[in-house]
Amino acid sequence: MAYKIDDVFSALADTNRRQILMMLSINTLNVNSIAGKFKISRPAISKHLKILVNTKLVTRGQRGRKRYYKINVEPLNEVRDWLNFYDKFWDKKLKQLKNYMEEL
């Protein structure tokens, strides 16, 4: 499944959303559990969660009356793959520079 990498980067640009993802990487949580760790309002947390759900970084499930949120790493894997290209690119360039400097 292809994710919109621009949307994923946009979602990751916010500190609160990154912190929520870190929390969800440890455990599945409900809105109140997440909101209790922040100094912002519960509605603000809900807006952040909506963005994370829309970008597929988080999935939402229901247990009784409570909604629980869980991290989905697939969009992050796509970002990692994109970044790996540039990691290899710079490794190659730095190796070329090293070889050039050694020839001098």
Query: 63: buried, middle or exposed (CB in 10 Å: 19+, 13-18, 0-12)?
Result: exposed
The tokens for 59 are 């999935």
CATH of segment(s) 5-103? 1.10.10.10
Question: 58-63 and 66-71: which strand pairing?
Answer: antiparallel
Q: How far apart are CA 97 and CA 14, in angstroms?
A: 36
- pLDDT tens string 33-58: 999 999 999 999 999 999 999 999 99
* Residue boundaries of the structural domains of the chain: 5-103
- pLDDT tens string 51-83: 999 999 999 999 899 999 999 999 998 889 888
* Location of structure tokens 């050694």: 102
